[in-house]
Each structure stands twice: as C-alpha cells, then as structure tokens.
Amino acid sequence: MTGSPLRIVGLVLGAVLILVAIGRHRRLRNVDVILLLLAGAALVVVSGTNAADGILSLFSFKRGGDRRIIGICVFAIVLLFGLYVRAAVATTRADRQLSKVVEGMAA
C-alpha cells in the first residue's frame, strides 16, 4: 500500500465520518448513525487496505490502469442511488404527514 494523497484523504474522511457519528449519536436517528458508521468504516477499509481488491476482481476490475478506482466509483454510485431512494421515501412520508396536519387544521 502506498501513501498516495487520495488514500490519505480517504482515511481522513472515513475517520471524520466515524467521529461525527459517535459525536452526534444522540441527535441523529439510529439509522443515520449506522449509515455514517458503515460509510466511514467502508471508506477506511477501502482507503487503508487492499481488502476491496477481492470484490473488485470478481467484477473484472483488475489492478492497474485506474480500474480499481473506477470499480469503487461504480459501487459508490449504486450506494448513492440507494440513499437517494431512501431520502425520496422519507420525503414522501413527511409530505403525507404534513398534508394530514394541514387538512386537520383546516377541518
């Protein structure tokens, strides 16, 4: 493992995410704390070790030619899509609850 600037930034951001999750666990929902911890841990593992190479090689993202970073970006995009769907569902739920409150106040 080399200490490239990208890996160092990944390690620092992963540690920051973990510290934010621990520091704000009382103000955040449990799901948000778990997501922050998992994201921070995943970022630390991917940045600090070569553990992701096994999974990436299963999907034909071999070492060299920036293929590893492309594979990680593909998985990150899939993860971001899942988080977007989660946020859209939460927004729809909040919209319905707000509509019920407004209708209740109007009645």
**Going residue by residue through the chain (107 aa), what tens digit of pLDDT does each one get?**
567 888 899 999 999 999 999 999 899 889 889 999 999 999 999 888 888 888 888 888 888 888 888 888 999 999 999 999 999 999 999 999 999 999 999 87
d(CA 68, CA 52): 9
Amino acid 97 reads Q
The pLDDT assigned to 1 comes to: 53
CB 34 within 8 A of CB 40: no
